[in-house]
């Protein structure tokens, strides 16, 4: 049960006059406020969990986003179409009244996923992608793939036949590879050979964190290879993990990288390239699972994601390109219609709650207690 208010609170109506970066026809600036009206965004990478956590977080995502690609790394993972259909039902049941949020389901790829499961998934009309977790790479990836080329070739072929995208957590897991190099080594040893072998397979490299990944995605055919980018990898570098002491709420996988990588990702997404789109990777864990001797990876960012993305585009002088990133590139890549409704982002300061409290515990959001701008609300 929810104890504190969910939605961003407006702090003040102090006029914000700095109009740097304005240029798009959608932006209304006046002497009292600046407003940006954009097509309702979608979240192409989201963890909603299940049970109490699902009920706790689904109001946030459904408030901000029209649709979301729902990650299947539950315990046990969503490995079949039947499980995806059931999980979808529990998400719909947990939605606030009158919400028109649409969950787009995914299957968790394992060594034993069969090609016929991919057919079933396509026929279901509710499964939109298959997720590759290299076994051991991240939260709940124990049942993931141990040998993609040895075990999954028939499934990958069927995915090409069914035009079913493969979403990848792009990190190798070998303990002799440095944790900061795992994405680059994955590109060289898995992703690049995979794309060469299956040039017609749609692949989304999820939550990219390095210049190597941004460059790689830009070098591929834009019809078949794209990437999602999280808020945290656009505004934080690896210093944020250690600033003033260990910061568990900034810990996610792939781990934050050096500043040069952050800058390269910002340049890529604000360039206007169609290959990059919004995927928050919002990954809630109860506070006690983050603030403990072996804290979980994952940042809960749904409540702040749009404000953070808007800030990044504004600072890059690219507010006119924000809407394509949040609302066009994703559906275009997936071959789905763009949303028709709108939301507004107001350049108004608002304070991020220090936590969201429930009877069973609490969740600490990204930028807890800090003041952000670009307050989102449905039109």
Asked if residue 279 lies in contact with residue 44, where contact means CB atoms within 8 angstroms, the answer is yes
Is 207 noted as a catalytic residue in this protein?
Answer: yes
Backbone angles phi, psi at 305, to 5 degrees: -55, -50
Of 135, 241, 297, 368, the one binding ligand NCD by CB under 6 A: 297
Per-residue x/- track, 160-189, Zn ion (CB under 5 A): ---------x--------------------
User: Among 226, 353, 343, which Cα is nearest to 279's?
Assistant: 226
Alpha helices in the chain (DSSP H): 51-64, 81-94, 115-124, 148-151, 153-161, 182-186, 192-197, 211-219, 231-235, 259-270, 287-290, 305-315, 322-323, 329-334
Q: Judged by CB under 5 A, which stretch of 138-146, 181-189, 217-225, 262-270 contacts Zn ion?
A: 138-146
Indicate which of Zn ion, ligand NCD, none lies near residue 127 (CB less than 5 to 8 Å, by partner kind).
none
Which one, 45 or 88, has the nearer CB to Zn ion? Answer: 45
Q: Which of 26, 207, 211, 233 is catalytic?
A: 207
Asked if residue 16 lies in contact with residue 348, where contact means CB atoms within 8 angstroms, the answer is yes
Tokens of 317: 């002088």
209 counts as binding ligand NCD under rule CB under 6 A: no
Tokens of 116: 């016929």
Is 249 noted as a catalytic residue in this protein?
Answer: no
252 counts as binding ligand NCD under rule CB under 6 A: yes
Inter-helix orientation angle 259-270/305-315, to 10°: 90
261 counts as binding Zn ion under rule CB under 5 A: no
Per-residue x/- track, 266-305, Zn ion (CB under 5 A): ---------------x------------------------
Instruction: Write out the DSSP string of 51-108.
Output: HHHHHHHHHHHHHH-SEEEEP---SS---SHHHHHHHHHHHHHHSPTT---EEEEEEE
Is 45 noted as a catalytic residue in this protein?
Answer: yes
Per-residue x/- track, 146-175, ligand NCD (CB under 6 A): -----------------------x------
Asked if residue 356 lies in contact with residue 362, where contact means CB atoms within 8 angstroms, the answer is yes
Sites for Zn ion among residues 1-60 (CB under 5 A): none
We find the least distance from the C-beta atom of residue 77 to Zn ion, in angstroms, to be 13
Backbone angles phi, psi at 64, to 5 degrees: -90, -35
We find the least distance from the C-beta atom of residue 68 to Zn ion, in angstroms, to be 11
Of 138, 210, 280, 326, the one binding Zn ion by CB under 5 A: 138
Is 169 noted as a catalytic residue in this protein?
Answer: yes
- Residues making contact with Zn ion (CB under 5 A): 138, 169, 281
- Residues making contact with ligand NCD (CB under 6 A): 47, 73, 138-139, 169, 252-253, 281, 283, 297-298
């Amino acid at each position: 049960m929810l104890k504190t208010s969910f939605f961003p609170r407006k702090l003040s109506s102090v006029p914000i006059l700095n109009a740097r970066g304005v240029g798009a026809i959608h932006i209304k600036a006046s002497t009292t406020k600046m407003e940006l009206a954009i097509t309702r965004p979608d979240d192409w990478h989201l963890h909603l969990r299940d049970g109490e956590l699902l009920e706790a977080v689904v109001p946030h995502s459904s408030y901000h986003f029209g649709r979301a690609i729902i990650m299947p790394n539950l315990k046990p993972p969503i490995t079949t179409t039947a499980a995806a259909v059931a999980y979808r039902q529990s998400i719909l049941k947990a939605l606030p009244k009158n919400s028109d949020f649409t969950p787009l389901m995914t299957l968790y790829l394992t060594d034993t996923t069969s090609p016929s499961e991919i057919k079933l998934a396509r026929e279901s009309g509710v499964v939109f992608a298959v997720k590759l977790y290299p076994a051991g790479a991240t939260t709940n990836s124990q049942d993931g793939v141990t040998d993609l080329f040895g075990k999954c070739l028939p499934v990958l072929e069927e995915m090409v036949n069914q035009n079913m995208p493969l979403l990848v957590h792009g990190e190798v897991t070998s303990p002799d590879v440095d944790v900061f190099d795992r994405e680059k080594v994955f590109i060289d040893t898995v992703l690049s050979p995979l794309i060469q072998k299956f040039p017609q397979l749609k692949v989304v490299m999820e939550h990219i964190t390095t210049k190597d990944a941004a460059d790689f995605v830009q070098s591929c055919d834009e019809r078949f290879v794209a990437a999602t980018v999280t808020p945290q990898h656009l505004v934080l570098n690896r210093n944020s993990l250690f600033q003033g002491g260990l910061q568990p709420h900034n810990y996610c996988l792939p781990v934050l990288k050096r500043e040069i990588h952050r800058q390269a990702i910002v340049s890529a997404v604000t360039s206007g390239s169609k290959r990059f789109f919004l995927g928050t990777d919002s990954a809630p864990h109860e506070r006690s699972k983050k603030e403990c001797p072996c804290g979980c990876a994952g940042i809960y960012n749904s409540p702040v994601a749009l404000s953070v993305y808007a800030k990044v585009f504004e600072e890059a002088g690219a507010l006119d390109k924000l809407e394509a990133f949040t609302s066009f590139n994703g559906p275009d890549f997936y071959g789905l219609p763009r949303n028709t409704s709108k939301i507004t982002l107001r350049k108004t300061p608002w304070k991020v709650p220090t936590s969201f409290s429930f009877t069973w515990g609490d969740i600490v959001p990204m930028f807890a207690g800090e003041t952000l701008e670009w307050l989102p609300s449905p039109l």
